Amino acid sequence: MKKVLIINASVRNGRSYSRKLTQLFVDNWKVKYPDDTFTFREVGTEIIPGIDASWIGGAFIKPASRTEDDHKALALSNELVKELKEHDVYVVATPMYNWSIPSGLKAYIDQVMRINETWKFRSGVPDGDYVGLLENKKMFILSSRGDTGYGENEKNEHMNFQTTYLKFIFGVMGVKDLTVFSLDNEEFGGEIFENSKKEIFETIRSIG
């Protein structure tokens, strides 16, 4: 039995296509792995606070030296990090906002990107050699985008700060088994978008 963590990042509810991808993923996964369990973490419609000076002050000192105020500043971060460590499969569903990710998802990443918790320096000192501490995890990125051509070797690849960033940042934290599914052309609608939906929906249904 595996534990699946679903992270929804869209600020929309009913009209969100990234959320539709999430529901399709969950429905499909439940059929194929009925014993697996799900946890839903909302970072789009619920506020994830950004890090501040108190957070930094607590995160970058040794745990034994932390004060009560330090522990208070890190309370949510500790909860989110613990959640990541306890789950086997991550599903991040996110729209592309201005060629990047929603602010809530960025705030979430800042909360979980914790030195000596989700990553560390290999040598123990800053040297640019990062070691991820989230081991044996599998991740799916479900993205929705208004335009097209953001994939590898495509014309808009250089403008994709959404999935490329997520792959990099979770890779630093140790997630190497990572798959991206992108629903493109939402802005255009019509037949071109319907074809995109049909293709990506069929792909998600084939997972597992």
List the binding residues for FMN.
10, 16-18
Can you count the helices (H) and strands (E) in the chain? 7, 7
Extract the annotated binding site. 10, 16-18
From the list 206, 197, 192, 189, the residue with the least C-alpha distance to 18 is 197
Token pair 């970058």 is at which residue? Answer: 60
In angstroms, rounded to a whole number, what is the distance separating the alpha carbons of residues 46 and 166? 20
> What are the strands, taking DSSP E only, across the chain?
3-8, 37-42, 89-95, 119-121, 130-132, 138-144, 177-183
Q: Please give the full DSSP string across 30-75, using - where no structure is assigned.
A: HHH-TT-EEEEEE-SSS--PPP-HHHHHHHTS-GGG--HHHHHHTH
Q: How many Å apart are CA 191 and CA 58, to the nearest integer?
A: 52
CA nearest to 63, candidates 131, 122, 114, 127: 114
